[in-house]
């Protein structure tokens, strides 16, 4: 009995819908558009540079001898190893000819890249020039929480015009 009723209903339905065209579905989705990965990276670099580096903060840096600094929780032997050149920098950053604002962004990007690539040591080449970057880069590095220590680079990595930087990459691998 059910089969006869369902077949009658199907016939009735098909006769009533004969010649009807289905609507074309309007596929509009009102989501926010995806942001470009490059734009997101630039904004995070700007955020890191603005939040970590202050021009008014004056850390306790040596006035005599080579430029060096280490956090309080870092063994002084690590600074000695940096001085001797025991660490080989995996990443190099050349800041020659950059303005202070550009150098801040590049420095923040370098530290993020070291963390992302699990690199413990990097080299920042600031050059001699007028000495503005040579003065400011150690102050900025001393403010960053992921910088363990830095020391004037050995001759093969730039000497007085560069710094070897030891980065705290953390215990866990970098996750995004």
- Would you say residue 31 has pLDDT above 80? no
For residue 92, name the pLDDT band (cuts at 50, 70, 90): very high
Q: What pLDDT, in 10s, does the model give residues 121-132?
A: 999 999 888 888
pLDDT, the chain, mean: 83
Distance separating alpha carbons of residues 112 and 174, to the nearest angstrom: 10
Band of pLDDT at residue 83, cut at 50, 70 and 90: confident
pTM given for the model: 0.68
Phi, psi of 83 (to 5 degrees): -60, -45
Exposed e or buried b per residue across 53-87, where buried means at least 16 C-beta atoms within 10 angstroms of its C-beta = beeeeeeeeeeeeebbbbeeeeeeebbebbbeeeb
Residue 173 has pLDDT above 70, yes or no: no
C-alpha span between 104 and 137 (Å, rounded): 8
pLDDT average, residue stretch 106-129? 90
The pLDDT value recorded for residue 176 is 42
Q: Is it the case that residue 157 has pLDDT exceeding 60?
A: yes
pLDDT at 175 over 50: no
Q: What is the pLDDT of residue 58?
A: 75
pLDDT band at 94 (very low <50, low <70, confident <90, very high): very high
């Amino acid at each position: 009995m059910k089969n006869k009723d369902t077949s009658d209903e199907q016939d009735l339905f098909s006769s009533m819908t004969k010649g009807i065209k289905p609507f074309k579905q309007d596929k509009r989705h009102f989501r926010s558009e995806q942001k470009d990965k490059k734009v997101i990276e630039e904004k995070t670099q700007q955020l890191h540079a603005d939040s970590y580096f202050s021009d008014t903060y004056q850390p306790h840096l040596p006035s005599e001898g080579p430029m060096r600094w280490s956090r309080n929780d870092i063994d002084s032997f690590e600074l000695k190893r940096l001085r001797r050149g025991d660490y080989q920098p995996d990443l190099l950053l050349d800041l020659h000819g950059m303005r202070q604002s550009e150098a801040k962004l590049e420095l923040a990007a370098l530290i993020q890249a070291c963390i992302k690539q699990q690199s413990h040591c990097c080299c920042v080449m600031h050059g001699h020039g007028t000495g503005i970057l040579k003065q400011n880069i150690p102050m900025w590095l001393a403010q960053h929480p992921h910088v363990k220590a830095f020391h004037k680079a050995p001759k093969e990595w730039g000497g007085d015009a560069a710094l070897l930087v030891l980065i705290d990459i953390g215990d866990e691998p970098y996750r995004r």
